[in-house]
Amino acid sequence: MTDRPGAGILVDSNVLLDLFTEDATWAAWSEARLAEAFDAGQVVINPIVYAEISVAFERVEDLDAALPERLGREDLPWEAGFLAGKCFLDYRRRGGTRRSPLPDFYIGAHAAVTGRALLTRDSSRYRTQLPSLTLISP
């Protein structure tokens, strides 16, 4: 858990995966934005982001060693679960066909209910479902 919930930036998994996989298109952008985030203050991930980035590693110890030391870990707020469910319901009512966007909504809802900005490359769904969320995106 972080010291000051409600401040700083929540990092989406795509940004960290860009770095871990040395993505030719996005690694430089993600590295620069993450460095700016650290310069600005507190930066955190949650268990969903941790799970999503784990696919790039064979062992938990390797993942933990790869994560920046300054990167905080924060539990998911119950209110974010409620908001994520409402976002998913609205998404489906609007004709969304993807069956499993709920983790994305949970990540965005976590940032929203804690007053954090979200550092992500995938802003379109967040802009639609969480229009008041501050996004750091291309």
**Tokens 């929203």 sit at which residue?**
112
Looking at residue 2, its pLDDT comes to 36
* pLDDT, tens digit, 9 for 90 and up, residues 51-91: 999 999 999 999 999 999 999 999 999 999 899 888 888 88
* pTM of structure: 0.86
What is the pLDDT at residue 22? 96
Query: What does the CA dihedral 38, 75, 127, 22 come to, rounded to 10 degrees?
Result: 50
Distance CA 105, CA 91 (A): 10
Q: What is the pLDDT of residue 101?
A: 65
Least Cα distance to 110 among 48, 50, 28, 65 occurs for 48
HEC profile of 6-48? CCCEEECHHHHHHHHCCCCCCHHHHHHHHHHHHHHCCEEECHH
Query: What's the mean pLDDT in 106-127?
Result: 92
pLDDT at 26 over 80: yes
In whole angstroms, what separates CA 109 from the centre of its chain?
10
Q: Tokens at residue 136, please?
A: 């750091």
Whole-angstrom Cα distance, residue 99 to residue 72? 30
**Residue 7, pLDDT above cutoff 80:** no
Residue 100's pLDDT band (boundaries 50, 70, 90)?
low
pLDDT of res. 3 = 38
How many whole angstroms separate alpha carbon 138 and alpha carbon 114? 23
